[in-house]
Structure formats: structure tokens, C-alpha cells
Homo-oligomer: A and B are copies of this chain.
């Protein structure tokens, strides 16, 4: 079986990773790629290592009204740029929006593919979770559904590689000399990923969430997200690990580990790693989650969602091992 897929936002990091994964997918053929600055170039001009079968594909100027026949469109546009444009895409084309505009928007399903895959199957409009929410919610879900932590008392200390900030920032904050050998907190008390996390925690934990604390940090590495989450609860470490192992028993991409996970374990893959360390005497549960921000945190989960909505095995094209070292 072969399906026709397209990418808009091909020149960004998320779009580029989607291209890499699609090139390795047994059922998806990339027949359309669009971008802004790169329109008119061939994929080979932008990606010197692109597989030969895709090398000659010409990047088009993005126009939602004149798309070719497609089964699935992957959209990886800057926040604010996709809401209106994607509304003009034909209903015959399924969409996975890697960007942030449709998370918890009406008519769109929030695509936590490892947490509620059954709600994704059969849908046609998927809002792909952000990288921080992907790591955070994967770590928290087993605790929340088993009432092992208080949903209203969660502190998320998040760390991301610089590719999470997107490409080519003219902002010198992301210049090599400024970011290298530097560790930078940012966006305190107001990060754009907060709402989708709060809504999902409330949904999984059965309570409204007002007190969520989230602090992102920019780490001098290209890829990787680690969240260290401080929760209140009296569960033991083993109870948390057991809850996660049961919760993810049939899920191919989530690994529950005894040791604290490292970001490099996930690099280049769609895997998520979760672990826990608890101290009932202090009413403390530490949950940890690791993803590749461009894998499970963006394009990897997007392909997983596309597999689900297309009725394919969710692991199709995604079962490669991470790159190490």
C-alpha cells in the first residue's frame, strides 16, 4: 500500500526531520514539499544527503488552495502561521499539524499517540503535541490516571537542546558562540506550552489545574528534551515504575527504566523514556521524561499519528534504533 504525503515547512528542523522519516517509511511517498524561502529549490539543494529517490523533488511555494492530491499533509509552520492556512486545505486531505496553533482547538484531536491512540484512529485533523508536553505528559500520565500524585501540585523543570528553538534564528541568543558553553533559563511562568500541559493534566488527573509550574532551560546541545518533574504523593519508586509499566505495556515507543534516562538514549528516534524516584517519607515523587525534541517531540510523533489515522501499524517507518553516540 502506498500513500501520497506532503510536507509544508520543509526547510525547518521539524519539516526536515519529517522528510527523513518519510524517506524511510514503507507506505508513505513524499510527493509534495513546500516552503517559503526555499521555494524553487530541489530537496537536494537544501539537504545534501537526501535519499536519491527524493533528490529531485522541487520545493513549491506554500498555497493551501492548490495542493496536489494527498492522503496526508504534515504541517510544520511557525506558531501563528498555520491556523488560517490549514483551514483552507481540502477535507479530503488528512492533516497532522506539528506546529502549535491547533492544540486543543475545536475540530482537532490532540495527538498523544502513546497515551490515547484509540482516540486518534480515524481522525482527520491531528494537533501534534509540543516537545515539552510530549516528554512531560508521557512521564506523568501513569501517575495521574492511578492517582499517585496530586495534579494541582506539579513543578516541571524542563531542559531542551537548541534545535527546539527552530532554525536560523537571527536572534543571537541562538548563535553558536552565545549558546555554546552556556545554560539559559527562559520564559519563566509564561511558556507557550503551558496550556496544553495544564489541560491534559487536568483531563488525566480528573481535576482542574491552576498551580502548574514550568521552567524551560536552553542547553548547549542540538537535540534532546529532559523534564524533571517534582510531584507530591506517597507512592514508592516501585509503585510508580509498576504503574508506568502497566500503562505502557502495549506501547512500542515508551520505555520505563530503572535508572534516570539520558537525552542521548532517544536521539534520532521516536522513543520516550520515563523513570521515577520517590521518597514517601517526604511525600515526594520525581518523574523524569526524555524525548528527542524532533522525534517524539515533533516529527516522530507526527508520523506515529499519521500511521494511526491511516490505519497502519503505529510503528511503520519508526522502528529504527537511536543514534549512539
Complex Cα distance, B170 from A168, in Å, reads 7
A215 touches B188 (CB 8 A): no
Given contacts A48-B261, A220-B221, contact A226 B321 (CB under 8 A): no
Q: Which residue of B lies closest to A155 (CB)?
A: B230
A19 touches B321 (CB 8 A): yes
B179 touches A323 (CB 8 A): no
Q: Is A90 an interface residue (CB 8 A)?
A: no
B176 touches A180 (CB 8 A): yes
Q: Which residue of B lies closest to A278 (CB)?
A: B189
Of the candidates B49, B167, B267, which one forms a contact with A322 in the assembled complex, judged by CB atoms under 8 Å apart? B49
Of the candidates B47, B163, B228, which one forms a contact with A321 in the assembled complex, judged by CB atoms under 8 Å apart? B47
Task: Give the total of A residues in contact with B, Cβ under 8 Å.
Answer: 81
Q: Is A286 an interface residue (CB 8 A)?
A: yes
B49 touches A183 (CB 8 A): no
A13 touches B157 (CB 8 A): no
Which residues on B sit within 8 Å (CB–CB) of A226? Answer: 183, 185, 217
Can you list 12 pairs linking A and B with CB atoms under 8 Å apart?
A20-B324, A50-B321, A157-B157, A159-B219, A167-B177, A174-B176, A177-B222, A183-B224, A188-B260, A211-B282, A213-B286, A223-B325
